[in-house]
Structures are given as C-alpha cells and as structure tokens.
C-alpha cells in the first residue's frame, strides 16, 4: 500500500452515506483525520437527508459491501474498525464474516437503530442477528440511552439504571460498553463498563445540533485505540 506514506494508524469506517457530512462515513473520515489517522470507508447505504431529518435510505447489496471490504483489507493493513449504520441483516452477516476472517485488533460498534429524527437505520428483523452474532466480535459497544433501552427492552432514566444496562449489555457480548447518557443531566455523562469497574466521563453540554455527535464520539474513540492510547484514554480524549 503506497497511499499512507506518513505511516499513520489506519482506521476503517463501515457506515451509511450522509450527504450533509454530519454523520456517516464522511463525518467518520473527518474525525479520523482530526486524530491523525489514515481513513478508509466502506458504505452500507445511501441516505436522503438534510440537517434536520432523514427522508429515505437505500441499502447497498451485501455483495457490494463484501467487495469493498475485501478490496481494502487485501491491500491495506487496518488497525481499527468503526461500525455505524448496518441497514440490513444481509449486511450484518457480511460484516460478521469479514470480522471473523480478518480479526482486526479493535472494533467499535455504534449500534444505530434510528436517526436523531426517528428514521429507522436498521431493519428491525436484523436486531437479533446484531446482538447474537456481531456483538461478540466487537471491542467496544457505544449505544446511546435510546439504543440501549431498545436493545434491552427497558427504560433507562438515571445513572444507576445506566450501570445495570451496561452490565447486561456486557454480559451479552463480553465486550466493553460505553452508554452515552448525555440527555440525563446538564452535563453530558457517559458510562463505561469493562466487566469489573464503572467509570463516568462528563463534559459540558453544548448548544450545537445533536446530529452526528454520537458518530463523532465513537470515531474519535476508534482513532484513539488505533493510536495505541488504550480504552480509557481514548474515551477521555474523545470527550474533550
């Protein structure tokens, strides 16, 4: 591979295409670059949206996703993978096969079920496949409160409930869990559980749009892991 002459860590995003660049593969690429990583991207779906809402989306074929993954992984050594919009069960299974075969050192899964405006980003029938087959292959799971609630089928309204939810999700995948709980308090508080200890990370809430903030956080963590910073340090840096 001759493109990455600066020997930067290589990060791959697998996600949807957002034409506003507020989320999806474009936003991930921008975040990776900001953390001095060389960015690769595999697109799973094309969305029609503006900064306020998603109007429609079209999933790419699983074969096309596989072709993208194979072309990149056969040519370029990938240090960390971030997964966002999965769109369909067929794409989920394709990514499962890729991860099982390639075995990247770090995999961060941002389990996008709905857009900020409420548009479904994953076929509901694929949720069990994500939980049962994809979860066990990831290093870190980064749901927000709504996503964690939907995955577990229970409401999460305070920090203690976040801890219970994080432990349940950890037990389902044996991987670290970061629940993004920014809507609970005046500060944006996230909770990390690695199987033994809970750690909270807080930052002042900003007045900017929430569109894409979860994508940026998980991408920044992915970049930190690729740079060898460790999980806790990667989360701390991503929250800054």
Inform me whether the pLDDT recorded for 214 exceeds 90: no
Confidence of residue 120 (pLDDT cuts 50, 70, 90): confident
User: Which of 35-49, 115-129, 220-234 has the lowest average pLDDT?
Assistant: 115-129
> What pLDDT is stored for residue 183 in this prediction?
64
Query: Hey, is 58 helix, strand or coil?
Result: strand
Query: Hey, is 189 helix, strand or coil?
Result: strand
Domain residue ranges in the chain: 10-239
Confidence of residue 6 (pLDDT cuts 50, 70, 90): low
The per-residue pLDDT of the chain, averaged, comes to 90
User: Which of 15-24, 104-113, 174-183 has the lowest average pLDDT?
Assistant: 174-183
> What pLDDT is stored for residue 137 in this prediction?
97
pLDDT digits (tens, 9 = 90+) for 48-78: 999 889 999 999 999 999 999 999 999 999 9
* Mean pLDDT value of segment 92-120: 91
Q: Under a CB-based contact definition with an 8 Å cutoff, are residues 136 and 227 in contact? A: no
The highest-level CATH class for domain 10-239 is alpha beta
Tell me the pairing of strands 198-204 and 187-193. Answer: antiparallel
Secondary structure letter of residue 25 according to DSSP: H
Residues 6+ apart with CB under 8 A from 15: 24, 25, 28, 41, 42, 43, 44, 82, 83, 84, 85, 215
Helices in 80-155 by DSSP H: which ranges? 89-102, 127-129, 145-152
Per-residue tokens: 57:
């989306």
pLDDT digits (tens, 9 = 90+) for 175-195: 999 999 876 666 678 999 999
* Mean pLDDT value of segment 94-115: 94
Exposed, middle or buried: residue 130 (CB in 10 Å: 0-12, 13-18, 19+)? buried
* Mean pLDDT value of segment 127-153: 93
Inform me whether the pLDDT recorded for 136 exceeds 90: yes
Please report, for residues 14, 21, 92, 185, the alpha-carbon distance to residue 30 in angstroms, rounded to integers and kept in the order given: 14, 9, 24, 28
Longest dimension (CA), the chain: 49
* Beta carbons within 10 angstroms of residue 131's beta carbon: 16
Q: Under a CB-based contact definition with an 8 Å cutoff, are residues 37 and 10 in contact? A: yes
Nearest in space to 18 (alpha carbons), one of 229, 211, 221, 232: 211
């Amino acid at each position: 591979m001759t493109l990455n002459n600066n020997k930067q860590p290589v990060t791959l995003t697998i996600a949807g295409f957002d034409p506003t660049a507020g989320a999806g593969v474009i936003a991930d690429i921008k975040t990776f670059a900001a953390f001095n990583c060389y960015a690769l991207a595999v697109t799973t779906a094309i969305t029609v949206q503006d900064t306020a809402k998603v109007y429609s989306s079209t999933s790419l074929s699983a074969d096309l996703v596989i072709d993208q993954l194979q072309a990149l992984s056969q040519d370029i050594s990938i240090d960390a993978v971030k997964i966002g919009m999965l769109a369909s069960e067929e794409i989920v299974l394709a990514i499962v096969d890729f991860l099982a075969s390639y075995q990247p050192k770090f995999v961060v899964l941002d389990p996008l079920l709905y857009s900020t405006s409420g548009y479904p980003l994953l076929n509901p029938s694929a949720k069990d496949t994500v939980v049962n087959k994809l979860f066990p292959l990831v290093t870190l799971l980064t749901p927000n409160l709504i996503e964690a609630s939907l995955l577990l089928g229970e409401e999460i309204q305070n920090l203690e409930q976040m801890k219970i939810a994080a432990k349940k999700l950890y037990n389902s995948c044996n991987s670290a869990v970061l629940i993004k709980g920014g809507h609970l308090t005046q500060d944006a508080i996230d909770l990390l559980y690695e199987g033994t200890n809970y750690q909270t990370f807080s930052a002042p809430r900003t007045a900017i749009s929430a569109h894409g903030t979860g994508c940026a956080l998980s991408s920044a963590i992915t970049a930190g892991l690729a740079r060898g910073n460790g999980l806790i340090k990667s989360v701390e840096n991503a929250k800054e």
